[in-house]
Copies of this chain bind each other. A is one copy, B any other.
Amino acid sequence: MDLQRFHEYFEKNREKHLQELFEFLSIPSISALSDHKQDIERAAQWLKNQMEQLNLENVSIDQTAGHPVVYGEWLHAEGKPTVLIYGHYDVQPVDPLHLWKTEPFKPEIIENKLYARGASDDKGQIFMHLKAIEALFSILGTLPVNVKFIYEGEEEIGSANLPSYIEENKDKLAADFILISDTNMYGPGKPAICYGLRGLTGLQIDVRGAKSDLHSGLYGGGVQNAIHALVAILDSFRDHTGKILVEGFYDDVRPLSNEERKAFADLQFNEEALKEELEVNELFGEEGYSYLERTWARPTLEINGIFGGFSGEGIKTVLPNEAGAKITCRLVPDQDPDKIIALIQNHIEKHTPKGVTVTVTKFDSGAPYLTPFDHPLIQTASKSYEKVYESPTAFTRGGGSIPIVATFDQILNIPVVLMGFGLSTENFHAPNEHFHLENFDKGLRVLCDYLCEVANLSL
């Protein structure tokens, strides 16, 4: 793919494109605040107009129980892959307003950075996809692949209505893969593809001893203390390195390949800087794995909260009869949340001390997600990045989850490619959100190249 023509197109149209983006960013489409419901609708309408100007077809504003989804498609690249492009046009609130150097909904460019709420997360990035399509139409007279857009308005408030929308529109949304630009690059000038995310499952453990709290003098030494029983259970979950001792816990963990480990190591993650940032004198975790491997590709079991007995000021000589803890596990492929919960329940039964009963309550869970590292969609994306950035692409995994990715994975069951152009320093969700226009300019070319190259893959 010869990128020069795209480069010229975007240079020539840069002012016009930025004017359009300014217009889009000027709409305060804050999904969390009901006062902005009309702005949400304006933003959806703005996207619909854009899509119609691009000659996308079946463009529609699809109502949900919450804010609408904007849909558009172009499906005339016969025999070619279909890409479903997802993003969100809603933004976070802007408080505290007095910390902004510019007005959040009056975009300004300062030192080649575009300041505005949503500049990077995610209006700037979803706008890029539209402009990439525009350039492809303009230069090629057609699109190299089939395209479907699904831009939602509730991402910042948890995408509550998106799963049912996807479920109900499964056929309409059918595609070969999903492309999302809502993640970060590894650093300035360093592109990254996040190809895996951890899943999540959780439970609450409630321990109960005697019928009520007891006097620690009268009964102490003779009756089980619910907190002691709880800490015995909790301490049995992990060894001193954080390795999880629940039988079978690691059975389904897909091992890291040598290539992945090498790719992680090549990132030369700075553990010293992290220690300084977190103000800890040492990092911690399972032996035999680097920090990145532990947080990206190994499962965890973490106590998120614990409670029992007296926690006020001073002393209360009580022998508590109730205590509880909340636990979540980050899961990696191919761990199954339900199976993991069953293993933990089995472990708890085995490790419950005398004199107490234990109740386990399950929380919602989400499966881990992984597009294999060597999948052609991932490798092709990395090459498109490298062509433009002239820097190796970092292959990363996310320690957390992006719920919507798991949702897409579960309902549509197709690969997800996360090609983000943000930087972790760009103040998402905070005052002075901005977007480095260098990545706007380069990203447009990366996306054009990628869609052209994907056309050559047989998926």
When distances are taken between beta carbons in the complex, the residues of chain B under 8 Å from A309 are 303-306, 326
Within 8 A of B (CB), among A348-384: 353-355, 363-364
A201 shortest CB reach to chain B, Å: 10
Contact A232 B221 (CB under 8 A): no
Q: Bound state CA distance, A398 and B219, in angstroms?
A: 10
Q: Bound state CA distance, A318 and B314, in angstroms?
A: 27
Contact A280 B355 (CB under 8 A): yes
Contact B218 A303 (CB under 8 A): no
Contact A364 B315 (CB under 8 A): yes
Q: Bound state CA distance, A319 and B399, in angstroms?
A: 13
Q: Bound state CA distance, A278 and B218, in angstroms?
A: 13
- Of B200, B222, B306, the residue contacting A283 (CB under 8 A) is B222
Interface bits A206-250 vs B (CB < 8 Å: 1, else 0): 000111001111111111110110111011001010100000000
Contact A223 B278 (CB under 8 A): yes
Contact B220 A330 (CB under 8 A): yes
Tell me the count of chain A residues lying within 8 A, CB to CB, of chain B. 76
When distances are taken between beta carbons in the complex, the residues of chain B under 8 Å from A300 are 216, 220-221
Contact B308 A217 (CB under 8 A): no
When distances are taken between beta carbons in the complex, the residues of chain B under 8 Å from A304 are 216, 227, 309-310, 315-320
Q: Bound state CA distance, A223 and B317, in angstroms?
A: 34
- Of B221, B280, B306, the residue contacting A286 (CB under 8 A) is B221
- Of B302, B305, B311, the residue contacting A220 (CB under 8 A) is B302
When distances are taken between beta carbons in the complex, the residues of chain B under 8 Å from A325 are 227
Q: Bound state CA distance, A216 and B285, in angstroms?
A: 13
Interface centre among A200, A219, A286, A401, by most chain B C-beta atoms within 10 angstroms, is: A219
Within 8 A of B (CB), among A272-330: 278-286, 291, 294-295, 298-300, 302-312, 314-320, 323-326, 328, 330
A400 contacts the other chain (Cβ, under 8 Å)?
A: yes
Q: Bound state CA distance, A312 and B307, in angstroms?
A: 10
A198 contacts the other chain (Cβ, under 8 Å)?
A: yes
A93 contacts the other chain (Cβ, under 8 Å)?
A: no
Closest 9 CB pairs of A and B: A217-B400, A305-B309, A235-B235, A305-B310, A211-B279, A224-B284, A221-B294, A220-B300, A307-B311
- Contact surface of A with B, Cβ cutoff 8 Å: 198, 200, 202, 209-211, 214-225, 227-228, 230-232, 234-235, 238, 240, 242, 278-286, 291, 294-295, 298-300, 302-312, 314-320, 323-326, 328, 330, 353-355, 363-364, 398-401
